[in-house]
Amino acid sequence: MVLAPMAGITNAAYRRLCAEQGALRDGCSATASGTTGLYVSEMITSRGLVEGDATTKAMLVFDETEQVRSVQLYGTDPSYVGRATEILCSEYGVAHVDLNFGCPVPKVTRKGGGAALPWKRNLLGRILEQAVAAGERHGVPVTMKTRKGIDEDHLTFLDAGRIAQESGAAAIALHGRTAIQGYSGRADWDSIAELVAHVDIPVLGNGDIWEAADAIRMVEHTGAAGVVVGRGCLGRPWLFRDLAAAFAGPVEPFEPAAHPSSPGLPTLGEVRRVMLRHAELLCRHMGEERGCKEFRKHVSWYLKGFPAGGTLRHSLALVSTLADLDALLAGLDPDEAFPEAELGTPRGRQGSPRRKVALPEGWLDDTDGTGAVAVEDAGETSGG
């Protein structure tokens, strides 16, 4: 089970929070139960890293408990990506590098990056080869994460899987949407199954896992070697506990004694404790002011569906100290049961399909890309 890289979300604090939750309640770690959790960083740009960009370097922070440092790298230039992978392995002790070929954001695809890049098969291969070669020097596996393609008429995932395999990539993660879909509609799990049948390297399935049961269903439906979970764990880092438990066997109840009607679900009191833990970890990594500011965006995800008044939500959205957060959260009823109507429903980004995918002039004219160089922006941070 993999925590999907999410720009602005999967920083060191959040990765630790999810990993803590991913440890089973009886003290077994997810690994001991046979399921390995991987918690991937926010995307950083290879050019930013190679050029020593301060923002990029500031994002390369790891928690002291983080045993497997997993970083997602964005890049469009084979040389930069190779050098950045080398730096990650030799200077940052990174144990896994994931390459982002799935970002649908116009300012990225317009330059031929993200989900646009796999259209240029040759360029994709050269980037992967450089990254894999750098990783191999340090025994570090390189994976790629991608989408189905640009749109239904320009699918790339099967070729991308073959190229990843030929380049020596350790695995490929597929988000079952095209770039033009953005986050709209439903992820196409059949495409994940198709990719599984097409390549020999492990395929990780991604898209629309809202509950642990969805993860099990996805693996059964697709034959994927693992799952990548993004929006489903926004405001619900305990999804990793549920995932670990579900892959290990029957799901363990969360607070069975206190709430027999809602086995496996946290009460508002439990959610409040997780919120405080999240904020505390953010503050530890970023300082109290920035940490609290970062935490604000998570408040509505945590409280989704719970009764919490408008005034309280408003105050929480302005919180600037841990003490204030604690005091505000004390106003919530700890015995409130989890809003079951929220289960299995989408959260986070959804939106509607784009009218078109912004691409460089003539990008679709050929699929080879020999000699093609997509412009790489050192400050790109928009993610996937």
Ligand X SMILES: Cc1cc2nc3c(=O)[nH]c(=O)nc-3n(C[C@H](O)[C@H](O)[C@H](O)COP(=O)(O)O)c2cc1C
User: Would you please indicate which residues are annotated as catalytic (active-site) residues?
Assistant: 103
Contact residue for ligand X among 207, 235, 266, 369 (CB under 6 A): 207
* Binding status of residue 383 toward ligand X by CB under 6 A: yes
Residue 149: count other Cβ atoms within 10 Å of its Cβ.
Answer: 24
Contact residue for ligand X among 63, 86, 188, 208 (CB under 6 A): 208
Contact residue for ligand X among 1, 9, 283, 319 (CB under 6 A): 9
Q: How far is the CB of 289 from ligand X (least distance, A)?
A: 22
Give the total of residues touching ligand X (CB under 6 A). Answer: 25
**CA–CA separation, 206 vs 204, rounded Å?**
7
Rank residues 8 and 331 by Cβ distance to ligand X and give the closer one.
8
Q: How far is the CB of 205 from ligand X (least distance, A)?
A: 10
Rank residues 34 and 346 by Cβ distance to ligand X and give the closer one.
346
**CA–CA separation, 165 vs 100, rounded Å?**
16
Q: How far is the CB of 176 from ligand X (least distance, A)?
A: 9
Token pair 């590098």: residue: 97
Bridge partners of residue 302, in order along the sequence: none
The residue number with the shortest CB distance to ligand X is 384
* Binding status of residue 176 toward ligand X by CB under 6 A: no
* Binding status of residue 235 toward ligand X by CB under 6 A: no
Tokens of 200: 């020999």
Contact residue for ligand X among 163, 209, 251, 329 (CB under 6 A): 209
* Binding status of residue 175 toward ligand X by CB under 6 A: yes
Contact residue for ligand X among 1, 4, 275, 374 (CB under 6 A): 4
Bridge partners of residue 149, in order along the sequence: 155, 178
**CA–CA separation, 18 vs 70, rounded Å?**
14
The site map against ligand X for 63-102 (x = CB under 6 A) is: ---------x---------------------------x-x
**CA–CA separation, 348 vs 41, rounded Å?**
18
Tokens of 318: 């302005």
* CB of 356 closer than 8 Å to CB of 184: no
Q: How far is the CB of 148 from ligand X (least distance, A)?
A: 12
**Cα dist from 151 to 93, 113, 142, 181, whole Å:** 37, 15, 26, 8
Query: CA 23 from chain center: how many Å?
Result: 19
* Binding status of residue 45 toward ligand X by CB under 6 A: no
Tokens of 101: 């070929």
Nearest 10 degrees: CA dihedral of 345, 346, 352, 357? -140
Rank residues 9 and 97 by Cβ distance to ligand X and give the closer one.
9
* Binding status of residue 205 toward ligand X by CB under 6 A: no
Residues of this chain, 244-283, that bind ligand X according to CB under 6 A: none
* Binding status of residue 37 toward ligand X by CB under 6 A: no
Scanning 25-33, 227-235, 288-296, 325-333 for contacts with ligand X by CB under 6 A, the matching segment is 227-235
- 7 contacts: CB under 8 Å, gap ≥ 6: 42, 43, 381, 382, 383, 384
**CA–CA separation, 236 vs 242, rounded Å?**
10
Q: How far is the CB of 66 from ligand X (least distance, A)?
A: 18
DSSP string, 44-82: EEHHHHHTT-HHHHHH----TT--S-EEEEE-S-HHHHH
Tokens of 365: 């004219």
**CA–CA separation, 365 vs 24, rounded Å?**
51
Scanning 15-23, 27-35, 117-125, 223-231 for contacts with ligand X by CB under 6 A, the matching segment is 223-231
* Binding status of residue 348 toward ligand X by CB under 6 A: yes
Contact residue for ligand X among 73, 229, 243, 328 (CB under 6 A): 229
Q: How far is the CB of 151 from ligand X (least distance, A)?
A: 17
* Binding status of residue 7 toward ligand X by CB under 6 A: yes
Say which DSSP state 336 is in.
P
Contact set with ligand X (CB under 6 A):
4-9, 42-43, 72, 100, 102, 145, 175, 206-209, 229-232, 348-349, 383-384
